[in-house]
Amino acid sequence: MTDTKFPPENNLPAGYEPPKVWTWEPGNGGAFANINRPISGPTHDKDLPVGQHPLQLYSLGTPNGVKVTIMLEELLAAGHAGAEYDAWLINIGKGDQFGSGFVEVNPNSKIPALMDHQPKDGGKPLRLFESGSILVYLAEKFGAFLPENQRARAEAMNWLFWQMGSAPFLGGGFGHFYAYAPIKIQYAIDRYAMEVKRQMDVLNRHLAENEFMAGSDYSIADMAIWPWYGRLALKDAYNDAGDFLSVDDYEHVQRWTKQIGERKAVKRGSMVNKASGNPGAFLPERHSASDFDGLTI
């Protein structure tokens, strides 16, 4: 009997039907197939380097990594000398995230990961993974960029977790099917484009009435959202996605994006752990403020 609701000829590829039990086929997954696998754990033994500072960051200059380097540079700009850090490049394209040392810090094998060798309790080094967790930890450790006022703090946390839940639809959803998938699937692109535009509208409506995400206070919520949605607003994400999604229409997101982007710490943080880019505008590793000397900031 022919399936009239989902006729095989309408499937992509034509005639595809899900098997009873899914099995992994290496190479399946488009642009990042070489680093995708259905199991966790290390693939090889490799210790992580450790520099001179208490805070050791292992990351890459993707939006999730940039959140943390912006936070660290903002802390230093605000006078928190204890936020000095070493930033080591984790090349996910080469599988560095599956090294045994990195997996010990983050069993999920995703960047960023942070080790604090001088936690406030004076105990053994403390590991941090998941960018949102790292931002909250640093904000609480240094008492900065997370409002003390209960209502403003709650608003900052609301928007931080909004970003954590929403960005996968932008990156893994829209970005993957629009820019990285080996085939163009209209249904998938339409589905995720609609969701990303809804998210941009959520931000635009909120920023029409608020200078920053938590109101009048610049916070970790702005640092978390800007690398994802600011990058999209600047037309710097997924090829021509900015035009495709008409990002210029979101005037309040545009105002906020430019305002955040003008901060010197944001410019510095956006350079760290990038392995390539415009000459003089990226910094694969960062071990001191002098590493920025000669770069275009």
Q: How confident is the model at residue 29, as a pLDDT?
A: 66
d(CA 135, CA 138): 5
Q: How confident is the model at residue 4, as a pLDDT?
A: 65
Same fold, 55-145+277-292 and 150-269: no
Q: Which CATH number is associated with domain 55-145+277-292?
A: 3.40.30.10
Q: How confident is the model at residue 2, as a pLDDT?
A: 55
| Cβ(195)–Cβ(174) below 8 Å | yes
Write out the H or E segment, with its range, that includes residue 141. Answer: helix 131-142
Q: How confident is the model at residue 282, as a pLDDT?
A: 93
| Cβ(60)–Cβ(91) below 8 Å | yes
What letter does residue 48 receive in the DSSP assignment?
P
Q: Which mean pLDDT values do the consecutive 10-residue runs of the chain (297 residues) have? A: 67 85 81 85 97 98 98 98 98 96 98 98 97 98 97 97 98 96 93 98 98 97 98 97 98 98 98 89 96 89
Q: How confident is the model at residue 203, as a pLDDT?
A: 98
Sketch the domain layout of the chain as residue ranges: 55-145+277-292, 150-269
Question: Residue 265 is encoded by which pair of tokens?
Answer: 């710490």
What letter does residue 24 receive in the DSSP assignment?
-
Looking at the domain covering 150-269, what would its CATH class be? mainly alpha
* Confidence (pTM): 0.95
